[in-house]
Amino acid sequence: MKFGRKNVRMFSLVGILYLVLIATTGCVEEKDSQMEKQPPTEIPKGILITKIPESMDIIFSSIRHVLDDVACLDENYELKDNFLNDPLCNKKIYNPDSGLASPRQLFTLDMETGNVIQITNTECCFISGQVVDSTTIMCNAACADTDSDELITERDKTELYLLDLTTGKMNCLTCRCGLDAINNPDYSCINKKIVFSARKGTDISVPHHIYTIDFEKNVTELTDNGEYMDFDCAWSEDGLKIVFNRLPLPWLEKPSQVWMMDSDGNNLEKITDGGTNPDNEGPQRGYPIGIDADPDLSPDSKKIVFSRLKTGKENGLFGIYELVTIDVDTKEEHILDSNYANMVPEWKSKGILFIRQIGAPNPVDLKQSLYVYRDGEFVELEKFPYNVFPIGAYGGSWIERECANKFDWKWISFVMVFMLLCFRCYLYYFIKNVWFLGLAIVVLGVLL
């Protein structure tokens, strides 16, 4: 769980600082050859592509780009053995005071080929991104050093932006909204709105609530109950529902619950009560055992997938976050995995996309990687060295194009039928044939 889908991660800072303090030795992987290579071309600054390729399936944030830095390469420009503990490379990855030393950037992945393309190389730290269309990305990012530590990381103030790939410009949607701790955004192509959680002002005692914002920067507050803190929100596929997490007073003494409501904030329904704590464990890094986090609706809105903190005593420093689905009507739960930390799931037609963290005694064996669950199987989408914590993906989202295509085709259908009927009326005075009206009705039925 986190207070924000991609902002305040319970696992990131503690895990990173833990790794900074641990020194290990030994080789990670033996190189196949010692053939000399040319030095890598330096990645240019700015926005690196002007359009998302059609073949790409996933957009995600990561610091994988640091492994291409000369600080992490040996004399043959191969990745150094035990790169996590190499002083020069480690300095590019970790900062003992703020966690990460390099800002996360946006990447896109082709699942079929495994090809990854870097989208950004800026000073901003990108928490998450979602593709609005082939040239526009909605992203949650920190782009200013608001905590004055001379670094821009997820610890700085985040805002919602629209990134135009063709111009390379980022339009801040929330910079003048008076909201703080903005996080867990989710864009609906049906409603043309972003749902997110935030609090009013910088007072951390003020609870987070759920908001929506459109591209004209019109903000609507959907929840305002001071007895709850609301976060981890997501749209349904049809844009009619919103699922979110709700933490009751007193904060962090009871597990958070999964709730659902209409897109306008009405008809709130509690879906879960949180998990149990049979062994009376203490909090896992501040979070009570049994919290439910990161809910997302299935494409047909009949089920919800979410993460549940089972225990902090297993799976190393990450603990175990079960991957759970629940039937919206019957409330029947089904556990998909109960061995690892399964975080921020997103359920679309291609499957359930999520981040999996795997604990280990040796820091280089700690894993953080994109996974997809579909057809009853788990598939890892990142391989060594890009699945090593904290190099692996921090958050991922499906690239969905069907919504826009379906929406545009519907309007085209209306226009075509309207023109056909108008043309029929024009011909009525010249050709009084019933078949033409019948043809228009048939076409209308087929298209709509």
DSSP secondary structure string for all residues of 60-105: EEE-GGGGGSGGGB-TTSSBPTTGGGSHHHHHHHEETTTEESS--E
Give me 231's structure tokens: 């976060």
What is the model's pTM? Answer: 0.85
**Cα 357 from Cα 187, distance rounded (Å):** 26
Query: In 134-178, which ranges are E strands?
Result: 136-142, 159-164, 169-172
Q: Which helix (H) or strand (E) holds 417?
A: helix 402-428
Amino acid 448: pLDDT: 53
φ and ψ at residue 67, rounded to 5 degrees: -70, -10
Answer for the pair 162, 135: CB distance below 8 angstroms, yes or no.
Answer: no
Amino acid 273: pLDDT: 97
| pLDDT tens for each residue of 56-66 | 999 999 999 99
Give me 333's structure tokens: 């739960």
List the Cα angle 381/352/404 in 5-degree steps.
100
| pLDDT tens for each residue of 20-33 | 444 444 444 444 44
pLDDT tens string, the chain, 448 residues long: the values are 444 444 444 445 445 545 544 444 444 444 444 456 678 889 999 999 999 999 999 999 999 999 999 999 999 999 999 999 999 999 999 988 878 999 999 999 999 999 999 999 999 999 999 999 999 999 999 999 999 989 999 899 999 999 999 999 999 999 999 999 999 999 999 999 999 999 999 999 999 999 999 999 999 999 999 999 999 999 999 999 999 999 999 988 999 999 999 999 999 999 999 999 999 999 998 999 999 999 999 999 999 999 999 999 999 999 999 999 999 999 999 999 999 999 999 999 999 999 999 999 998 899 999 999 999 999 999 999 999 999 999 999 999 987 644 444 444 444 455 555 655 555 554 455 555 556 666 655 555 5
Among 263, 212, 209, smallest CA distance to 240 is for: 263
Amino acid 38: pLDDT: 79
Answer for the pair 117, 56: CB distance below 8 angstroms, yes or no.
Answer: yes
- Residues 6 or more apart whose Cβ sits within 8 Å of residue 27: 81, 82
Q: Cβ atoms within 10 A of the Cβ of 266, count?
A: 8
CATH topology for 12-400 is: Neuraminidase (2.120.10)
